[in-house]
Amino acid sequence: MADASIAPAAIAGMFDLLSPSPPGWGGNLLRGLLNSLQIAFGAFGMGLLIGTVGAYGKLYGGPVVRDIAAIYTTIVRAVPELVLILLLYYAGTDLINRILEGIGYQRVDISGLVAGIVVLGFVQGAYATEVLRGAIKAIPQGEIEAARAYGMSPTLMMRRITLPAMLPHALPGLANLWLISTKDTALLAVVGFSELTLVTRQAAGTTKAYFLFFIAAGALYLLITLFSNVILAKVEKWARRGMPSVKEAR
């Protein structure tokens, strides 16, 4: 880039390419970003649900439940996300359609959004299971025993004691998972879902301005990460209120 290829006119041209109105691709990029964020939120939420169930299953479940949870987390964490996405994406939609045809309904097109959320949520669930299991084990167990001694039902105990008490221990891991979730949405580009990375590639391929668009998309992802970090630090501070700070505890 040492030669005079970046003249003021070229810079103006760059901003034209990124402008949100139709001749520019900025609007498309932002729509892709919105899709990515939707999937990231959905997958993270679903991962939390699966993770809570999985963690409870691993800690308090019977021997069969424990083994099944262990198989789930081991396999999902050992196989590349890309392979899982392809397997679940094809197999999942195929299976649902076969079942629907079996009962006598028509085939349905499962939207990329739903499929993406389910597939990534399934992957996130395995990691969330491990994070939450560790966090529940880090609660002073006397608190749980006290709750039991008060005669709390399991759901009440979960709502009042276990979940709030484990939150500070779980948050660093969950924050990591959220960041992974935002970045894993890029993998859905491979199955053709038009999230930020795929839209970027289309824009770059059409205009031949590869560096411009990939760097712009990278900046968007980075913004999400940095913004999330600020929010997550606030949430962690709130969850750890009343506890000794990490530095003092050392």
What sign does the dihedral 45-174-233-139 (CA atoms) show?
A: positive
Give least dist CB 205 to another protein, A.
8
Interactions with another protein, residue window 150-209 (CB under 8 A):
168-169, 172-173, 179, 183-187, 189-190, 197, 200-201, 204-205, 208
- Binding characters for another protein, 40-69, by CB under 8 A (x = yes): ------------------xxx--xx-xxx-
The two three-digit tokens of residue 115, written as one number: 């499929």
Nearest to 85 by CA among 76, 95, 98, 72: 76
Q: Which is nearer to another protein, 7 or 78 (CB)?
A: 78
Q: Which amino acid is at 244?
A: P
Interactions with another protein, residue window 86-105 (CB under 8 A):
86-87, 90-91
Query: Cα–Cα distance between 127 and 47 in angstroms, integer?
Result: 8
Question: Which range in 13-21, 42-50, 82-90, 96-104 contacts another protein by CB under 8 A?
Answer: 82-90
Question: Could you say whether residue 80 binds another protein (CB under 8 A)?
Answer: yes
Question: Could you say whether residue 136 binds another protein (CB under 8 A)?
Answer: no
Query: Cα–Cα distance between 216 and 162 in angstroms, integer?
Result: 42
Who's near 33: CB < 8 A, 6+ residues apart?
196, 220, 224
Give least dist CB 229 to another protein, A.
9
Q: Which is nearer to another protein, 117 or 127 (CB)?
A: 127
Token pair 């669930």: residue = 125
The two three-digit tokens of residue 23, written as one number: 């001749």
Angle (nearest 5°) at CA 45 between 44 and 49: 115
The two three-digit tokens of residue 222, written as one number: 């980075």
Residue numbers at the binding site for another protein (CB under 8 A): 1, 58-60, 63-64, 66-68, 70-71, 75, 77-84, 86-87, 90-91, 134, 137-138, 140-142, 144-145, 148, 168-169, 172-173, 179, 183-187, 189-190, 197, 200-201, 204-205, 208, 210-211, 214-215, 217-218, 221-222, 225-226, 246, 249
